[in-house]
Amino acid sequence: MTRSGGFCVFLLSLITIVGAAGAARAMDRGEYLARAGDCVACHSVPGGKAFAGGLKMGTPLGNIYSTNITPDKETGIGNYTLADFDAALRRGVGKDGHHLYPAMPYPSYAKLTDEDVAGLYDFFMKEVPPAHVANRPAEIPWPLNMRWPIALWNVVFMDHAVFQPTSGESAAWNRGAYLVEGLGHCGACHTPRGLAWNEEALDSSDAAFLSGAMLDFWSAPNLRGDPNAGLGRWSKADLVQFLRTGHNVDGAVFGSMIDVINNSSPYLSDADLDAVATYLKSLSATHPNDTGWAYDGATVTMLRSGHPASRGAAIYLGQCVSCHVDTGMGFAPFLPPLAGNPTLLDNDPSSLINIVLNGSNQIVIKGTPDAYRMPEFRINLSDQDIADVVTFIRQSWGNNASAVTADQVASFRKATDPSNDQVIILKMR
């Protein structure tokens, strides 16, 4: 199954191999930077050694595999000088001169300071144990596997400038911008991609930045100030709580973001979490004229009447009400509300379809696993059942989102089947 095949299944093993050690002692600067960049998520596989690569990723051209970034001299980066490491990290060029695929978020890492690049280099060379694990070749046929066109792609779509603080903004805002736009590479998932697989924006100067995108069969949410499918109704405290625990009163983490919660953001300092929240809360809404969500209790009356008004309502009563209750408010922060949840209000129902089909992976905060998670309904419910219940919750308690069809569910069921090992083509908005 590719990384793009839907549900990521490697999280607990990553925590096992790197989480316990990081939680048990104070991190040095280099390790802290690697945590902030969540390097382990892409450069490790279940049961493997940390940073030894091998994670399969689907691209429009074929499958590629993440590389070994341990200091092994034969299969890793043990022979890299600081200049070699810098070229790979900030320009996407390997030691032998080959161009890296932009699945490596070097367009974001280009913003890193020289000091942080050196800190990361010291960490990988001095603190990461070498692992003799050979890199796997990309599964991209000729001539599509030629890499010289990436140099042209870089000319068109990259900005090589190191991050510069914005005058007139606070120190916290600028720190948050550096983390979000650069080291945290949030735009790599949350910004729409163009036809050339380029991020449509790389910083807050463009309203497309962090406006939401399709990734791994999840709709990576809008992180701007939109009142419905964005963060407009979240406070800074809500954002900090989410980044620290994976939960807050409005929602719970899902999909590929679990990587970040399990491996990265809870390890950040209070000051850095506040800086990230400060920056994100400053972003304007993509659709500023949207009418804000308001709760409607008519759904509660209908559900309590004993006469469900639709097939979707009946399925909700049978399968969902024990956790999310008839008010749609759940038991926050651990069992999230459905009423007014930004994921429910998103025009793209991908995340909701995916999580009903496949459930949620475990959240592990610094070695402590959560107690509750969404079960999968892949076996229990048909495509039509899932379409009906997802449509019901997207149109109840004041939610006003589009209906979902059985055909949509069927396509997700096939694409996210754990036995499916075909090349997955990610959709783009």
Rounded to whole angstroms, the Cα distance separating 132 from 70 reads 8
Q: What is the pLDDT of residues 230-266, one digit of tens each?
A: 999 999 999 999 999 999 999 999 988 999 999 999 9
For 152-206, what is each residue's pLDDT tens digit?
999 999 999 999 999 999 999 999 999 999 999 999 999 999 989 899 999 999 9
The whole-number pLDDT of residue 13 equals 38
Residue 427 has pLDDT above 70, yes or no: no
* Cβ–Cβ under 8 Å, residues 214 and 348: yes
Residue 290 reports pLDDT greater than 90:
no
Per-residue pLDDT tens over the stretch 299-338: 999 999 989 999 999 999 999 999 999 999 999 888 999 9
- Mean pLDDT confidence for 115-119: 98
Tell me: pLDDT of 2 over 60: no
Burial 98-130 (b: 16+ CB within 10 A, else e): ebbbbbbbbbbbbbbeeebbbbbbbbbbeebeb
- Predicted confidence at residue 60, as pLDDT, reads 81
